Amino acid sequence: MWRRKRKIEEKKEKKEESLLKELCGDDAKLYDVLGGMLYLDPIEAISRKNLEILIEEAEKSIKDENYEEARQKYRRVVDKAIFEATQNPRERSRYIKIIQDLASKTENYKFMSERIEDVIKIASLYYNERLEELGVRERRETRRQERRDVESEEQMEEKKAGERREARRQERKEMGRGERKEAESEDKREEKKAGERREARRQERKEAEREEKRMDEREEERRKERRKELSKTR
């Protein structure tokens, strides 16, 4: 199970490496630098603290002469500034200035200073595509969880129905012949209705699965179209 999960993760990483390579084209240096900077899940990886707090934390590490910690914290500032620039194009110049001011305190500072426009452009394309795909994945998981919840409720209902049947069976033991026969007929009618409800739910599940498949296919088509558009923007 662990190996299978690991293979799936490796496949996802290779796919996103392919996206970044596609965006960078023949620019090997840009690809190498961004390959070590951009995240598969920026929402999860990038700090939620605002830039001013992150900068203050990094500067405190400098004052404390903890330079390795400061370097790591400045890297978090740059990561945050790049992501914010991709999500707030109207404020891009502000974030670019922050990145350039801090570039000398991070790795690849010379490259970052000279190629900042290219860095932001490719990061924007990459992160926007990743956020779109993460949103698709989240919606798909929400649908699956809803199905699991419905199935859990159905199992609970079946369990209670079985308990009621057993209770009625025990009650019939105490009944007279005529009364028992009527009770058995009523049970058969109830069981028939229960069977019809189960079949209706089964058909609903099948239709939900077919609809999810259609939605996945439409999402994949949209993804291919986005990739085509991305290739035109390089």
Quote the percentage of the chain above a pLDDT of 90.
38
Query: Do 90 and 175 belong to one domain?
Result: no
Query: Do 109 and 34 belong to one domain?
Result: yes
Give the residue from 76, 110, 130 where a domain finishes.
130
Contact 125, 18 (CB under 8 A): no
Domain membership of residue 176 as a residue range: 140-233
Query: Do 38 and 90 belong to one domain?
Result: yes
48: three-class secondary structure by DSSP: coil
**Of the candidates 232, 231, 233, the residue with the CA atom closest to the CA atom of residue 19:** 231
Give the residue from 130, 155, 178 where a domain finishes.
130
Query: Do 168 and 111 belong to one domain?
Result: no
Write the CB contacts of 205 (distance below 8 Å, at least 6 apart in sequence): 147, 150, 151
Per-residue pLDDT, averaged over 63-87, amounts to 93
pLDDT range class, residue 179, cuts 50, 70, 90: confident
**Of the candidates 125, 96, 109, the residue with the CA atom closest to the CA atom of residue 25:** 125
State the helix-helix crossing angle for 116-172 and 67-87, rounded to 10 degrees: 80
Give a yes or no: residue 210 inside a domain: yes
**Of the candidates 182, 156, 178, 155, the residue with the CA atom closest to the CA atom of residue 168:** 182
Amino acid sitting at position 49: K
Write the CB contacts of 165 (distance below 8 Å, at least 6 apart in sequence): 187, 191
Average pLDDT, the chain: 81
Query: Do 93 and 157 belong to one domain?
Result: no
Contact 135, 219 (CB under 8 A): no
Query: Do 20 and 114 belong to one domain?
Result: yes
Contact 26, 234 (CB under 8 A): no
Tell me: pLDDT of 175 over 90.
Answer: no
pLDDT of residue 117: 93
Give the residue from 75, 108, 130 where a domain finishes.
130
Token reading at 191: 């069981």
Query: Do 111 and 213 belong to one domain?
Result: no
Write the CB contacts of 12 (distance below 8 Å, at least 6 apart in sequence): 40
Give a yes or no: residue 135 inside a domain: no
Query: Do 205 and 116 belong to one domain?
Result: no
Give a yes or no: residue 51 inside a domain: yes
pLDDT of residue 8: 43
d(CA 29, CA 33): 6
Token reading at 181: 């026969």
Query: Do 119 and 183 belong to one domain?
Result: no
Tell me: pLDDT of 83 over 80.
Answer: yes
Give a yes or no: residue 224 inside a domain: yes
Give a yes or no: residue 171 inside a domain: yes
Query: Do 66 and 156 belong to one domain?
Result: no
Number of domains in the chain: 2
**Of the candidates 49, 53, 73, the residue with the CA atom closest to the CA atom of residue 61:** 73
Query: Do 18 and 93 belong to one domain?
Result: yes
Query: Do 7 and 120 belong to one domain?
Result: yes
